[in-house]
Amino acid sequence: MKTTNKIEVAAQWVLKKRIIAYPTEGIWGLGGLNLPNVIEGIDKIKSRPADKKYILLFHSSKELLQRFSIEVKYTEIIKKHTNTFTTMIIPTSNGKIAARIPEHGNLLNFLQLIEKPLISTSANTSGEEVCKNINEVKAVFDDKIYGALDLALGGKKEPSKILDLETNEYIR
């Protein structure tokens, strides 16, 4: 597994359809472009059921709203939770999606360089503890993923809250 502390290098890995680990606000994430082969690869790496959903990370609410058909009544809520530590379950014309626009500067810069949504999940094998640092990422994923963006977490100590926009209730 390669490591870099350069956001530009990690962004190029992702754009080449590679799976990488990266720091978010509170936990290490695992992800890549929102493509079937990337999703299948992550499922295999994590020993994760194929029907389990992912979070999409966007660099802005504008990007999210351009990519999905979302009712107007949800757009203000989405904008309110932009750059917060909240994942939103959003009804779209094609079913629900889980999306987040991060507040973490390094992660935002990373997403801006990719210019596409990032499919994201926690950096762990299903059912195991999430990796807390780069050494744990290396121990768990060394021969399984292409690389890791070796930067600090964003200061939170847990995964994001999850808000269901349809019910306006937090489910985590």
Q: What's the CATH code of the domain at 141?
A: 3.90.870.10
Degrees to nearest 5, angle at CA 120 with 115 and 122: 150
The two tokens of residue 30 are: 């695992």
Tens of pLDDT along the chain (172 residues) come to: 999 999 999 999 999 999 999 999 989 999 999 999 999 999 999 999 999 999 999 999 999 999 999 999 999 999 999 888 899 999 999 899 999 999 878 999 999 999 999 999 999 999 999 999 999 999 999 999 999 999 999 999 888 999 999 999 999 8
Q: How many domains does the chain have?
A: 1
Residue 2, SS3 per DSSP: strand
Residue closest to 24 by CA, chosen among 49, 63, 55: 55
Domain span at residue 56 reads 2-170
Q: How far apart are CA 130 and CA 110, in angstroms?
A: 21
